[in-house]
Structure 1
């Protein structure tokens, strides 16, 4: 498969690239590990090393001719970061924050896996399961911590206490659809659109209110990256015919 095959998933790939570049630049500017992505404090040299992969890797991901090679380098880094989450998960297996962070890395890894070899027929299934699991856990956390999630909703939006339950249900439904392959295409598109809307509705206003807050920059970059993850899966499903409903026609 050539670069044109990679280009079919351009919206997801570009959003993913923006998020990963953002992570790298945030690390360089604040001289600090990216919360959630990197599960431990890093020395300045460690931050620079990771950013040296994230920034050029994200730039390479944005260009279809270099996307596969860039995704391979990012895949290597994300694999190391995923294993780095293991000690925290073993130490605190009931801590949902640990699981959310690890599954975010797994989702990023799944998207890079798809971009690395777009012609592989077995990759969409593995990526679907990984991203589906990530979304289901997101949904459960939204329900368990609805009050905390509601605190992120802008004051002008009505029904602030209802939104975490709605978005949590949407995450769980989309995750099950993507993992099973039933209605996976519309589910991956719509949940990506939901993530993208948060960039405008939630993260941009919070960044404008606190431009020096590192955590807000990380949250904004993560919203770009997660949008890219699910839209990359959507693009791969269009290539592979991975939606079970599509194959039954």
Structure 2
């Protein structure tokens, strides 16, 4: 593929990934306004003004999304977004994991936020942060893939009930996630593994999450689950352009 064609193709991937990622941030922000009282329960007890911080996070999500969409101050906004997500992990997920280390659902939510934080670091286009973002994206994906072999009902990519041989598909889904994540870490085949992972996750969302969402459009929990997977799929497309960005064939963000 010629350099010009590669540039156009990878640029399309990044734009697609950025838009998917930004859309999820907008939805998360709106949900923080709608379910503010409930989300205050996630704020550590020792932090004052719980409702204020919930609204602050809502504004931060939407502001970061707008920055990504209009392609202005992306490095700053995504750096700040990654810091905020790191605080979520340290202040919310880590205490929950320490209190209930055997709860796989708690592990899943924590790992999903790590993946999303990794994507934010990649979007900064900072060459020092790109490798960190790649590892934060790929390593949790391996663990999320392994969960399919334990048949957790809430894992990132679920098998539609109408599929025959659900157990086989469950294993296959997990195996695809693991292989793609390992390939991303190995830096082999440029961005192909991340691209295939993004496509795979989008197919999973269309086949499983979208029908559930349409059947109960007012279900906030279903919206959150769908948006988490959409953010990760968008992140995979963004990560797929990392090799081109690293070698100055493409500028991810400004």
Q: TM-score, normalised by structure 2?
A: 0.80
Contact 2:28–2:224 under 8 Å retained in 1: yes
Contact 1:13–1:228 under 8 Å retained in 2: yes
Aligned to 1:76: 83
Aligned to 1:221: 227
Q: How many residues align?
A: 232
1:229–1:196 distance in 2 versus 1, CA, 3 Å: same
Write the distance in 2 (CA, Å) between the matches of 1:152 and 1:171: 12
Aligned to 1:238: 244
1:220–1:147 distance in 2 versus 1, CA, 3 Å: closer
Deviation of the 1:226 alpha carbon: 0.5
Write the distance in 1 (CA, Å) between the matches of 2:214 and 2:40: 20
Let me know the Cα RMSD of the aligned residues: 2.9
Unpaired stretches in structure 2, ≥5 consecutive residues = 1-6, 249-254
Aligned to 1:246: none
Aligned to 1:187: 193
Does residue 1:63 correspond to 2:70, yes or no?
yes
Match runs of 1:3-22 below 5 Å? 8=11, 9-22=14-27
Does residue 1:110 correspond to 2:118, yes or no?
yes
1:169–1:34 distance in 2 versus 1, CA, 3 Å: farther
Aligned to 2:108: 100
Does residue 1:87 correspond to 2:95, yes or no?
yes
Deviation of the 1:87 alpha carbon: 1.5
Unpaired stretches in structure 1, ≥5 consecutive residues = 243-249
